[in-house]
Each structure stands twice: as structure tokens, then as C-alpha cells.
Amino acid sequence: MIDLVSLTIKAGRGGDGSVSFRREKYVPKGGPDGGHGGDGGSVILVGSKSHNTLQHFSGVREITAQSGGQGGARQKTGAKGEDKILTVPLGTVVWLTAEFKSLPERLKLAEISKEGQRVALCRGGAGGRGNIAFKSSTNTTPRTAERGMSGEQKTITLELKLLADVGLVGLPNAGKSTLLTKITRANPKTADYPFTTLEPNLGILTFDKNQTAKDLVVADIPGLIEGAHQGKGLGHDFLRHIENSRALVFVLFLDENVLSDTNLTDEQKAELVWRQYQQLQTELKEYQKDLPAAQPTGEKERAGQAEWAGKVEMLKKPALIALNKIDLYSPELISAVERRFKKTNQKILPFSGFTGENLSKLVQKIVELI
């Protein structure tokens, strides 16, 4: 999935004004009649539900709007340059890439969150005035016209952050993709090896509310590994998609090697589940550490304020803790895990994505969470 692209965008140049004099039969000295140049086209970003990725920008490096037309005789104004419309999926953030050392490394220009939302990224240049604008009592035959102004130019980065109601978070092989196939109509690839899922998958969870069908968007976030916040694996690519999820479901599990280890007691195995949950919490927390923890004061901190406001809430989102693959666990082990989480006044919901045990209860809890 293409969810990060860099582009150089250029608005159109304004058209030049015209130097012209009226010359008609019986009007040999009609005076100046040079028209103004047309304004250049702008580059405009528009939110659209018809796109789910930034795939349509693949291979594109530069986008330029149309320049304005030149002014003509008989006071004709040049045609306005056509605007360049860029459609992007909802959840797209626009960053300005700094070209000067005096500016922050990245400055947030806009975030597209609504269908039809429009943002003018680069304004077209103004058209130049024709010589008719310079006529005066002391200059009856001006031979001067203005050149059109250059349009704005920027180097930007488009970053897509999925807009989902629920984000499934867990280590590789936790069974998130299997869960997604069970509760939605999505059909992601599933297999018994780590990193089967290399890009986020979306599914629609349909449920009844007051005898009316309602939909929730569920995102399967690829498995996080230790050090994901430092970019290990595809950490940053995964973590940013969690930011826009309204709620999180932590999907925990025990590896078969741990289950078959007779040297470990049920309490020790339960402790491993707890540590796994803590690891996921740590990755979300550490991901935001590079942003200011207090009120921004400097220029760079103010530039990152909007980004910080979204990330700081990641651990404060409504969350549900679930234990997958219980078809492999003994009742005693499940009880031990529940007791371990109860020590910190937290509940964990055991289920099996393979057999479907407790799946309806999990769906009910997800709906209640939202």
C-alpha cells in the first residue's frame, strides 16, 4: 500500500499583459488597448472517499497547474489557467518539506478528514496588466506592460493515516488477520509465519443497533516488534496508522513453544502475556517521545504541536484487551491469565479466532467500546 509520497507542486504563472494600440478605419490613433494577462491556475487538494491509498501518485514527482493566457488587443484579458485538482483519501496529512535551515524540518499544512474538503496548496500567479492600465494625461501612448507573476512552488509530503473506528494491535502471529476475516468480509492473507501482513487491511464490521444496520471500520495493523518506535521492522509505517483509530483492541497470545514448555508454570506463562501487553504499550508510548511533552515554546515545537496533539492521545484511546488462540490453552492457564490482569484492575477477554469461541462476545465488546 502506497501511503507516503513526496511531490514538488507548482502553481501556474500569470499571463503577461499586452502592449497594443487601437487601429481601425477612421480611428488612426485610438490609443492603448492592451489587455491584462490571466491569473495562473492553483494546485488544490480535495478529499475523496473513492481513494483508499496514494497509489495514483506512484511514479509522480512534479505536478504543475496551467499558466494564465497572455492579454490581447481590444482589451482582451487572457484566459485564467486551469486549476490542478489532486484527490486524496481521507486521513491524508500534508507536510511542507523545509528547504531552508531557518525553517522547521516539517511543517503541517493541512489534514484531509472530510469528503469534498478543499485546500489550496499553491496559489496561481497574478496576471500582468496591459498597457491600457498605464494610460494617463501625461502618457497617452504607453508602451509598457507587466509580466505575469510566478505561481507558488512547494515541496510537500503526503502521508496517509488510516481512518478507522477500531485498530487491531499485536505482535506478529497474534491472529489479527484471522480475527479480521471472522468479524468482517475482509480477506487478508493469513499464514503461520511472522509478518504475513505487510500492510494495513481494512474490513467493515456490521451490527444491529435499534433494528438498524450500522457499520464500523476495523483496521488490521501489521505486527509490531520490540523497537518498532525506533523504526525496526516497519515500525513507523505501522504505528502512524494507529493514530487515527478511535479505539484499540490489543490482541495477545502465547506462542506454541511457550505452551509446550513444561518448565514454566501457568502463572509464569500468564506473566509472559502481561509482559507482551506492556511491550505493546511501551511501543505506543515511545513512538511519541520525540515530540514535546510540555506546551511548545520554540518555532520547531510549535510546528509539531498539531502532530503531538494527535499522538499524545494514543494510550488514552478506549481500549479492549483480548487473548487469542484459547483453543490451545488449558482452562487453568486461561484462569491464571485473567487473575494476572485482575491484579491491575484490568479485564482480558479470551477468544479463539480459529474455532470462533467467544467471538460474538468480543464483537459485542468492540461495539460497546465505540
Tens-digit pLDDT profile for residues 299-316: 444 444 344 334 446 778
- Phi first, then psi, for residue 195 (nearest 5°) are 60, 40
Grouping H, G, I as helix, E, B as strand and the rest as coil, residue 195 is coil
Domains annotated on the chain, with CATH: 1-160 (2.70.210.12), 166-369 (3.40.50.300)
User: Which ranges of the chain have pLDDT less than 50?
Assistant: 101, 191, 193-197, 225-236, 290-312
Q: What is the model's pLDDT at position 177?
A: 84
Q: What is the model's pLDDT at position 140?
A: 87
**What does the alpha-carbon distance between residue 299 and residue 227 come to, in Å, rounded to a whole number?**
29
Please tell me the pTM assigned to this model.
0.63
Q: What is the model's pLDDT at position 193?
A: 45
Q: At what angle do helices 266-287 and 331-342 cross, to 10 degrees?
A: 50
pLDDT tens, position by position, 199-225: 667 778 888 776 666 788 888 877 554
Sequence-distant (6+) residues with CB within 8 A of 31 are 21, 22, 135, 140, 141
Q: What is the model's pLDDT at position 107?
A: 81
**What does the alpha-carbon distance between residue 350 and residue 333 come to, in Å, rounded to a whole number?**
11
Q: Which of 157, 187, 299, 316 is nearest to 243 (CA)?
A: 316
Sequence-distant (6+) residues with CB within 8 A of 290 are none
